[in-house]
Amino acid sequence: MEESRKKNENQALDTTDQFEGSRPILRQKKAALINDLSGLGRCSLSVQLPVLSVMQIECLLLPTCVLSNHTGYPSFYLRDLTEDLDPMMAEWKKQNVEVDAIVTGFLSSEKQIHHVLHFLDLFQKPQTLVVVDPVMGDHGKAYPTITPALQKAMRTLTDRADVLLPNLTEACLLTDTEWKEQFSRIEIEAMAVRLTEMGARKVVISGIEEGDKICDCTLEKGRQVHWIESQKSAQMRSGTGDLFCAVLTGALLHDQSLEQAARMAGDFVRKALDVTEKLNVPDEEGTAFEMVLCDLCPQCEAK
Ligand code: PXL
């Protein structure tokens, strides 16, 4: 245990090619998070920042829009930041920002996808991990902000993804598959393969309900599909996809394999859901992930 903690601790750091005497200089890993800032409801940046911070990753934040609360509430106020994205990234470029990972999430319009592509042109290097969460819907329904143009444009982002993280609804929207309540594993695997054909190097379709189980389907292009199964506990709710994405990104930056990272992310989300249910949190308020956050800390003694 102590050994693996030490290992994790070091994996948040990277060696540079500079030396202090004979010792290589260590550098903390950085992730750029392109996502919305929702004031209420524990999703997007407000859950991804604490998760990646506790995993010792430095986060650089590019908010795509600011909302009073997420779109799952009966109403919401949204301040769109599309016109601010280019000037913000230009300032980052002036500061010679370099990142180890770029994570994309909720985008308010088709136009924002073009800005994200521009961001990738500016900051993606061959070694940069690009994680695309194609946030578009849940339980077979698109979110109210998702237009057909945005849905179509989201496909251009899959082509730039090292890791694409749709839920089943989003996998359907990306592959033009009609939604139904039950899909067979063969149908889901075919969607994962289709998503790799659309350009994603790795795909995790997460949160698939199968009777009393909840499963994630992982595929690395040209390899065999893997299924990760666990016992279903509480119902999915707002922000669980964002949590899954952040933990998985952190785990990959800690040099875990795709399957290990997906298992760690799924385990964390389930633990967060369990404690949320115990606390009787209303659905739209998301998960009480704060109660289990220290599970992710490589140095935390309270595990
Ligand atoms: O968690 C996904 C998400 C992210 N951002 C906003 C949302 C949602 C889901 O409802 O409304 C603004």
CA of 239 to the centre of ligand 1 (A): 7
Supply the mean pLDDT for the chain. Answer: 93
Give pLDDT, residue 2.
43
Per-residue pLDDT, averaged over 169-191, amounts to 96
Q: Does the Cβ of 36 fall within 6 Å of ligand 1?
A: yes
Per-residue pLDDT, averaged over 134-159, amounts to 94
CA of 71 to the centre of ligand 1 (A): 6
The ligand 1 atom at the shortest distance from the C-alpha of residue 72 is 10
Give pLDDT, residue 22.
78
The percentage of the chain sitting over the pLDDT mark of 90, rounded to a whole number, equals 85
Give pLDDT, residue 236.
82
CA of 136 to the centre of ligand 1 (A): 8
Question: Whose CA is closest to atom 12 on ligand 1?
Answer: 70
Asked if pLDDT for residue 87 goes beyond 90, the answer is yes
pLDDT, one tens digit per residue, over 163-179 is: 999 999 999 999 999 99
Among 35, 37, 38, say which to mutate for ligand 1: greatest number of ligand atoms within 8 Å of CB: 38
The ligand 1 atom at the shortest distance from the C-alpha of residue 242 is 1
pLDDT, one tens digit per residue, over 268-277 is: 999 999 999 9
- What's the predicted TM-score (pTM) here? 0.93
DSSP letters, the chain, are -HHHHHHHHHHTEEEEEEEETTEEEEEE-EEEEEEEEEEESS-THHHHHHHHHHTT-EEEEEEEEEEEE-TTSS---EEE-HHHHHHHHHHHHHTT---SEEEE---SSHHHHHHHHHHHHHH--TT-EEEE----EETTEE-TT--HHHHHHHHHHHTT-SEE--BHHHHHHHHTPPP-S---HHHHHHHHHHHHHTT-SEEEEEEEEETTEEEEEEEETTS--EEEEEE--SPP-TTHHHHHHHHHHHHHHTT--HHHHHHHHHHHHHHHHHHHHHTT--GGG---GGGGGGGG-TT-TT-
Give pLDDT, residue 6.
41
Give pLDDT, residue 228.
96
Give pLDDT, residue 296.
96
pLDDT, one tens digit per residue, over 15-26 is: 776 777 877 778
pLDDT, one tens digit per residue, over 1-17 is: 344 444 444 567 887 76
Among 36, 43, 154, say which to mutate for ligand 1: greatest number of ligand atoms within 8 Å of CB: 43
Give pLDDT, residue 118.
98
